[in-house]
Amino acid sequence: MSTSVDKSTGTQALLTGQNIVYAGIAWAVVSLIFFLLFSVTPRGEDSPFWYLIGTYILECLPFLAAALLCYRNWGSPQIASGRNVWLGIGLGMIAYFIANLIFGVWELYFGLDPDVSPADLFYLISYVLIGWGMILAVLPRRLNLEVWQWVTVGGIAVVGVVIAVLVLFYTPSPSESAEVGTPAVKIEQVASKLSLPKAVAAPTPSKAPATPSTPKAPTPVEEEEVNQNLPAWVISLDKVLSPLSRQVNFLYIVFDVFLLIIASTLLLAFWGGRFAQSWRMIAFATLSLYIADMGFKVFGAIAEAKGQEYQSGAITDVGFIFSAVFFAIGAALEYDVSSRSRRTARRRT
């Protein structure tokens, strides 16, 4: 009996807010160094497989840790902001963790770079759950914000919407990039069918100067050969989901802006209070998620415009790791402050 009590006490002593903050900072720094060192590859070469695996490990583990810490908050009756608040955020972390696993299988195992995958369903669910948790934190409180605070929230909303609109409407879609390359293909096909007279045919040199080759996008024949090695349900599901790319990207942007507004509102509502630190971390988490999502859209659109396949692991993807770390730190700080406040109240009585 005493052994189990000692173990639980030791675990609680290890999972203090200070230790979790230090661990989160260390994880974020290591992740940033990893991305800075290995995210840039020589032109025409893909990222090595071990690097992609490393990015998934660095991203998935913080989301799992954040989910467990949110679950601890949900199970504690001492949480001042409400247990259901952290239940929603924790379920969102779990959904994001599952989405990362599915996307990893889709990208690394099947070798696909789809516009939409089954992982997007869980990503969108995670946004809804996180937003639900944040709304539950706002509803019981009267938002008596000052004028400068409302102006700040409005400014954040305007900037977020403007950036999102620019990313959505001013980056080429896959269909547009395909249309750009179509005339060149047709010209080559027509030129190959034309035969010049032998008398006017220009002599070709025996040795042409070597020119650096640029990476080419896979031809439809190559893509078909790759698809033949995939299960039939994967191919059919990819064909069904691909036309939904524009709508899914629009939903991502709407949810990103919504979470950004809610997080900034909560940050200002708790400004200067006991729980300001935890909600400051939540605000940083949503901001990191917003930046990472925008970067993912931009880099993906640029790759498609160049006729290349986009691979995850760009430097902006470190924002997803920062987001999970901030969520975990916010949950830990909330637990510490709530527990400390309850112990102080007991001593006074």
pLDDT value for 202 = 46
Which among 154, 132, 173, 127 is positioned nearest to 290, based on CA atoms? Answer: 127
CA 156 to chain centre: 20
Q: How many CB atoms lie under 10 A from the CB of residue 96?
A: 29
Look at residues 32, 28, 40 and name the one whose alpha carbon lies nearest to residue 314: 40
Name the pLDDT band for 45 (thresholds 50, 70, 90): confident
Separation of alpha carbons 296 and 51, rounded Å = 17
Establish if 196 belongs to a structural domain: no
User: Domain span at residue 117?
Assistant: 23-36+48-172+230-348
- pLDDT tens, residue by residue, 300-337: 777 777 766 667 888 889 999 999 999 999 999 999 88
**Rounded distance, CA 286 to CA 260, Å?**
6
Q: How many CB atoms lie within 10 A of CB 57?
A: 12
- For residue 66, what pLDDT is reported? 96
- In tens, the pLDDT along 150-204 reads 888 889 888 888 888 787 776 555 445 444 444 444 434 434 444 444 444 444 4
Residue 309 resides in a domain = yes
Residue 297 CA from chain centroid, whole number = 10
Q: What is the mean pLDDT of residues 62-87?
A: 91
User: Is-contact 329 20, C-beta < 8 A?
Assistant: yes
Assigned domain for 234 exists: yes
Asked, for residue 179, whether it belongs to a domain, the answer is no
DSSP state of 247: H
For residue 28, tell me if it sits in a domain. yes
Confirm whether 333 is domain-assigned. yes
> How far apart are alpha carbons 147 and 289 in whole angstroms?
27
Domain-embedded: residue 222 = no
Higher-confidence residue: 192 or 117? Answer: 117
Q: Is residue 58 pLDDT above 60, yes or no? A: yes
Residue 270 lies in a domain: yes
DSSP string across 76-94: -TT-TT-HHHHHHHHHHHH
Nearest to 292 by CA among 55, 121, 69, 40: 55
Orientation angle between helical segments 17-38 and 49-75, nearest 10 degrees: 160
CB 318 within 8 A of CB 32: yes
Residue 43: band (very low, low, confident or very high) from pLDDT cuts 50, 70, 90: confident
Total tally of structural domains belonging to the chain: 1
Provide the residue count of the chain.
349
- The distance from CA 336 to its chain's CA centroid, rounded to whole angstroms, is 28
Q: What is the mean pLDDT of the chain?
A: 78
Give one DSSP letter per residue of 114-176, joined into a string.
-SS-THHHHHHHHHHHHHHHHHHHHTTS-----HHHHHHHHHHHHHHHHHHHHHHHSS--HHH
